[in-house]
């Protein structure tokens, strides 16, 4: 992901002043806070005005594919005059300021920039963001949003907002990848996937292999608060039409009806894709999945007898050398619980999926 970069003197100044020049963060305290939290530092007048509204609306927008309303990120505003040592160590920080704001709060943020950097902001309207790692804490992400005028910055955020969201999503996924696999992976599953499915996916320790068929693999982690599930399904690839929404839903429903039941002793309690709620549609989009074309599908699932339900997230891609279409999915059952971070965790696991040609390239 690329962003317009500010002069390197800004980065050097910030690292020197705030983190003693420690770009790796090795000598810094660890970043604190929960996954999905972002702290926004900006002047109170701008926070209460159009600029604050645009930023808050972007990061607090409803996350798609969940059964009830949850924001993409949980955002908390901090007055620059109250930014203390503890708050500086939060995992995700955003500093926002424009040069036309003359208040005390804006002045505090401006003083983090060198005179040369401020001059560059005045003369180059294309510059509006800079991300810096490990400024006040290890494994921390700090994003600076700036412009000559508030009007210019609002326009930049509206134009590039999806990239800003994707950037923080990526950082959270990277952090989760580190924490999820600290205890290793489920034993035996990597060998099964490579030998029988000609693919790879890293399943964290704590999941259990529930079912293993020639075209289907299901893993599950049951906790007191939630039930997390991952499955892999495949079939022969015959046409690009298999990537169409109706075809993907049909394939998913065929797999669920064949293998996924509320009660294994009752074959009439299988899972289906929820398509009957107009305001909660199944969503699909083409994406770059680890530098590979894929289609993302997200929405809600339920049992056909309406006793259970929840969100799901799936990715479909082709292994061209083998001629197989793969569908990998994560879904959860967590009634009455917030499910944003559960789905973020399942997304992190799904993104470790690799097809046969990718495994061979990585092995070289």
* CATH number reported for the structural domain that contains residue 283 in this entry: 3.40.1000.10
Model pLDDT, residue 25 = 73
Q: In this model, does residue 20 exceed pLDDT 60?
A: no
**Average pLDDT score, the chain:** 91
The residue from 180, 213, 239 where one domain ends is 180
pLDDT at 343 over 50: yes
| pLDDT classification of 109: cutoffs 50, 70, 90 | very high
pLDDT number for residue 27: 87
Same domain, 227 and 358: yes
Distance between CA 170 and CA 348 in Å, rounded? 9
Q: What is the mean pLDDT of residues 233-241?
A: 97
Entry pTM: 0.88
pLDDT of 12 strictly over 90: no
Tens digit of pLDDT for each residue in 257-284?
A: 999 987 666 767 799 999 999 999 999 9
Q: How much is the pLDDT for 262?
A: 74
pLDDT of residue 306: 80
- CATH at 162: 3.40.50
In angstroms, how far is CA 235 from the centroid of its own chain?
A: 28
62 secondary structure, DSSP code: B
| DSSP secondary structure code for residue 337 in this structure | S
Last residue of a domain, one of 180, 213, 244: 180
Six token digits for residue 84: 């203390």
Question: Quick check: is 137 in a domain?
Answer: yes
- What are residue 342's DSSP bridge partners? none
* Residue 316 · residue 327 · CB < 8 Å: yes
Q: Is the domain of 134 the same as that of 12?
A: yes
- Residue 91 domain-assigned? yes
Q: What is the pLDDT of residues 75-97, one digit of tens each?
A: 999 999 999 999 999 999 999 99
Tokens of 332: 């959860």
Q: Of 148, 180, 212, which marks where a domain is finished?
A: 180
Distances (CA, A) of 105 to 46, 57, 95, 97: 10, 21, 11, 9
Domain region containing 170: 8-180
What residues contact residue 360 under an 8 Å CB cut-off, 6+ apart?
Answer: none
- Domain membership of residue 273 (yes or no) is yes
Q: Using 50, 70 and 90 to split pLDDT, how confident is the model at 313?
A: very high
Instruction: Name every residue whose Cβ is closer than 8 Å to that of residue 123 and which is 6 or more positions away in sequence.
Output: none
pLDDT confidence of 9, banded at 50, 70, 90?
Answer: very low
Is 118 inside a domain boundary?
yes
Split into its structural domains, the chain has a count of: 2
Residue 2 lies in a domain: no
Residue 4 has pLDDT above 80, yes or no: no
Q: Is the dihedral of CA 160, 166, 170, 171 positive or negative?
A: positive
Give me 292's structure tokens: 């590979």
Domain-located, residue 1: no
Residue 362 has pLDDT above 90, yes or no: no
Please indicate, yes or no, if residue 152 is contained in any of the structural domains: yes
293-303/283-288 β-pairing = antiparallel
Share of the chain above pLDDT 70, in %: 91
Maximum pairwise Cα distance, the chain = 72
The arithmetic mean of pLDDT across residues 134-159, rounded, is: 95
CA 155 – CA 266 distance, rounded (Å): 56
Q: Are residues 158 and 194 in the same domain?
A: no
Question: Residue 19 pLDDT more than 90?
Answer: no
Domain identity same for 274 and 161: no
Do residues 176 and 195 both lie within one domain? no
Same domain, 175 and 196: no
- Report if residue 257 sits inside a domain: yes
DSSP code for 207: B
Q: Are residues 95 and 221 in the same domain?
A: no
Please indicate, yes or no, whether residues 269 and 206 belong to a single structural domain of this protein: yes
Write the burial class of residue 73 (CB in 10 Å: 0-12 exposed, 13-18 middle, 19+ buried): buried
Tell me: pLDDT of 174 over 90: yes
Verify that 48 and 107 share a domain, yes or no. yes
Domain check: are 65 and 206 in the same one? no
- Please state whether 290 falls in left (phi above 0), alpha (psi between -120 and 50) or beta: left
Query: Across residues 109-134, what is the average pLDDT?
Result: 91
Q: Kind of pairing, strands 208-213 and 216-222?
A: antiparallel
Mean per-residue pLDDT, 212-224: 95
pLDDT at 22 over 80: no
Q: What interhelical angle do 50-59 and 150-180 show, nearest 10?
A: 30
Q: How far apart, in Å, are the Cα atoms of 161 and each of 7, 34, 151, 323?
A: 22, 22, 15, 37
Residues 172 and 263 in one domain: no
Identify whether residues 174 and 203 lie together within a single domain: no
């Amino acid at each position: 992901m690329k962003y317009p970069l500010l002069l390197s003197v800004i980065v050097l100044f910030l690292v020197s002043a705030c983190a003693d020049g420690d770009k790796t963060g090795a000598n810094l305290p660890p970043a604190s806070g929960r996954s999905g939290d972002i702290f926004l530092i900006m002047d109170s007048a701008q926070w209460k005005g159009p600029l604050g509204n645009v930023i808050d609306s972007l990061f607090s927008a409803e996350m798609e594919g969940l059964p009830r309303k949850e924001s993409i990120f949980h955002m908390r505003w901090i007055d620059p005059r109250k930014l203390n040592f503890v708050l500086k160590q939060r995992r995700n920080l955003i500093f926002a300021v424009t040069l036309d704001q003359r208040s005390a709060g804006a002045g505090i943020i401006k003083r983090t920039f060198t005179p040369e950097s401020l001059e560059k902001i005045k003369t180059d309207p294309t510059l509006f963001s800079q991300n810096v790692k490990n400024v006040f804490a290890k494994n921390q992400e700090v994003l600076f949003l700036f412009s000559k005028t508030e009007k210019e910055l609002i326009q930049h955020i509206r134009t590039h907002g999806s990239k800003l969201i994707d950037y923080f999503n990526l950082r959270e996924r990277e952090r989760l990848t580190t924490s999820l696999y600290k205890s290793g992976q489920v034993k035996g599953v990597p060998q099964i996937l490579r030998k029988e499915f000609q693919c790879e996916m890293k399943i964290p320790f704590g999941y259990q292999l529930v079912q293993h068929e020639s075209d289907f693999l299901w893993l599950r982690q049951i906790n007191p608060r939630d039930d997390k599930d991952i499955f892999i399904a495949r079939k022969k690839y015959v046409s690009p039409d298999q990537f169409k929404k109706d075809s993907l839903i049909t394939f998913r429903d065929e797999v669920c009806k064949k293998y996924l039941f509320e009660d294994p002793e009752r074959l009439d309690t299988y899972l289906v894709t929820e398509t009957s709620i107009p305001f909660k549609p199944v969503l699909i989009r083409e994406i770059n999945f680890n530098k590979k074309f894929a289609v993302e599908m997200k929405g809600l699932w339920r049992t056909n007898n309406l006793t259970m339900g929840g969100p799901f997230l799936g990715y479909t891609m082709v292994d061209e050398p083998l001629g197989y279409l793969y569908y990998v999915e994560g879904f959860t059952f967590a009634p009455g619980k917030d499910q944003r971070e559960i789905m973020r965790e399942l997304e992190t696991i799904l993104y470790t999926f690799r097809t046969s040609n990718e495994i061979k390239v990585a092995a070289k």
